[in-house]
Amino acid sequence: MSRMTRQRAAIEAAFKTAGRPLSPTEIHASAVKQIENLGLSTVYRTLRRLEDEGVIAPVTVPDEPPRYELAHVAEHHHHHFHCRKCGRVYDIDGCPTGLKKMTPPGFTVEEHTLVLHGLCDRCG
């Protein structure tokens, strides 16, 4: 594990404060409030380290840049909501039922991902 720098602490705090998946630019916007001269390149380098160390996990939204969430959140099966207006991504609870009925005969579902798209409560 890398040593805890002020930059890393500010980046990790961004995740804890937001409580939702964040893009690198959202992380930068939050962390720069604590460390004024924090560069976006430092955010990207730190994110790579945090992912390599298993602290964060990527969140994939089709046709969107990657977002990240804390690994302990990613460990629990959940899905995401993507706001088409502001671009924010939120965790959602629950999981659709009836996947087995949708699966072709003889096929086996091993995993699934669900991303809902629409407007969040701020934009709707």
pLDDT score recorded for residue 75: 93
Domain count, the chain: 1
1 band by pLDDT with thresholds 50, 70 and 90: low
Average pLDDT over the chain, rounded to an integer: 94
* Domain assignment of residue 64, given as a range: 6-118
Q: Determine the pLDDT at residue 67.
A: 97
pLDDT tens for each residue of 95-106: 888 888 999 999
Q: Would you say residue 124 lies in a domain?
A: no
123 in a structural domain: no
Angstrom CA distances, 64 to 32, 42, 83, 94, 115, stand at 23, 21, 11, 23, 12
Q: Say which CATH number the domain at 40 has.
A: 1.10.10.10
The 3-state secondary structure of 29-97, one letter per residue: HHHCCCCCCCCHHHHHHHHHHHHHCCCEEEECCCCCCCEEEEHHHHCCCCEEEEECCCCCEEEECCCCC
Query: In the structure encoding, which two tokens stand for residue 53, read together?
Result: 């160390």
Q: Is 108 helix (H, G, I), strand (E, B) or coil?
A: coil
Question: Is the separation of the CB atoms in 83 and 123 below 8 Å?
Answer: yes
What confidence tier does 124 reach under pLDDT thresholds 50, 70, 90? confident
Contact 79, 90 (CB under 8 A): no
Residues 116 and 81: beta-carbon distance below 8 Å: yes
> What is the pTM (predicted TM-score) of this model?
0.86
pLDDT at 79 over 90: yes
pLDDT above 90 as % of the chain: 84
